[in-house]
Amino acid sequence: MKLFARQVCALVKLSFVELWRRNDIFALVLLGLALMVPLSMATPFGAEGASRYLDEMALLLVWGFSLFIALGTGQRLFPPEFESRTIYPLLAKPISRGRLLVGKYIGAVAASWSALAFFYVLFVASVLLRGGTFAAELPQAIVLHFAFVALAVSVSLLGSLLVSASANLTLSALVLVGMFFFGRRLPEYAEGLNPALAWVVKTVYAIAPHSEFFDMRQRLVHGWGAVDGGVLVAVLAYAMWYVFVVILLADVVLNRKRV
């Protein structure tokens, strides 16, 4: 157990260093600041109520940035190790492939969460500076967003072991963003289709990661109130189950991969 903890700790540190020493993250942080700071100062049309649209815009930016970081971090876990051949000295050490996979996943999630926490600090600051307040549902929204990031990293990690970087990033983003915006409408859409197409749409609905479950932006912006605790637990359980299955599949793929 001590060995596992030390190995995971080393992999988490590596993920943090890798994420925060990359130039593109600095670009993203600067972009975040450049967009959030004006939002914090704006008073649109002099109308107080209009500030909720600014909140919505800021939250959408936070979601976009977090998805970008989660997919990028998941994608960078293994392919660069194979390309630069660092995978050989790593696998020659006393660590199994399964443990390496889990350690790297935990590291990537922790690093992505650190970036997400940073963006939420910016968001909260932008709201407070505008004189706004927070609804009680903010902690729930943040918890679900963190769960979504953990799920997105796992999807990207699995994809990185199966297809090229560009294909993985495109497909993962398409699926996650597609489900985010259209996921809840798929069953309704399937009803109007012929049986074969309806089956395809229903299968996609059953298999694809339900990003929309984690989105509480509207509740947060319009003050619709917190969701029931049971619903929150169910969504978190769904995220954990989905991540477990995806990581299990990634483990199978990694163990079959020839180095």
Partner 1 sequence: MSECSDIVQLEGVTRAFAGTKAVDGLSLKLKAGEVMGFLGTNGAGKTTTIKMMLGLLAPTSGTVKVLGGDPSDPHVRAHIGYMPEVATYYPYLNARELLAFYGGICGLDAKTVRLRADSLLESVGLADAAKRPLKTYSKGMLQRAGIAQALLGDPDLLVLDEPFTGLDPLARIHFRELLRGLKERGKTIFFSSHELGETELLCDRVAIMKKGHCVYQGPVKDIAGDGATNLERLFLKTLEEAK
64 with 36: CB under 8 angstroms? no
Q: Which is nearer to partner 1, 109 or 175 (CB)?
A: 109
Distance in Å, CB of 85 to partner 1, minimum: 5
Distance in Å, CB of 72 to partner 1, minimum: 15
256 binds partner 1 (CB under 8 A): no
Distance in Å, CB of 113 to partner 1, minimum: 20
Q: Binding partner 1 by CB under 8 A: which of 6, 26, 224, 241?
A: 6
One-character DSSP codes across 37-103? HHHHH--GGG-STTHHHHHHHHHHHHHHHHHHHHHHHHHTSSHHHHHTTTHHHHHTSS--HHHHHHH
Distance in Å, CB of 215 to partner 1, minimum: 34
CA distance 235 to 243: 12
Q: Which is nearer to partner 1, 10 or 165 (CB)?
A: 10
Q: Which is nearer to partner 1, 215 or 251 (CB)?
A: 251
Residues 68-107 within binding reach of partner 1 (CB under 8 A): 84-86, 88-96
Q: Would you give the binding string for partner 1 spanning residues 9-28, x where CB under 8 A is met?
A: xxx-xx--xx--xx------
Q: Of 14, 12, 153, give the one whose Cα is nearest residue 71.
A: 153
Distance in Å, CB of 94 to partner 1, minimum: 4
Distance in Å, CB of 253 to partner 1, minimum: 16
Q: Which is nearer to partner 1, 52 or 97 (CB)?
A: 97
Structure tokens at 183: 């996921």
Contacts of 30 (CB under 8 A, 6+ apart): none
Q: Of 18, 17, 145, 137, give the one whose Cα is nearest residue 72.
A: 18
Q: How many Cβ atoms are within 10 Å of 177's Cβ, its own excluded? A: 14
Q: Which is nearer to partner 1, 78 or 148 (CB)?
A: 78
H/E stretch holding 208:
none
Site for partner 1, rule CB under 8 A = 2-3, 6-7, 9-11, 13-14, 17-18, 21-22, 84-86, 88-96, 258-259
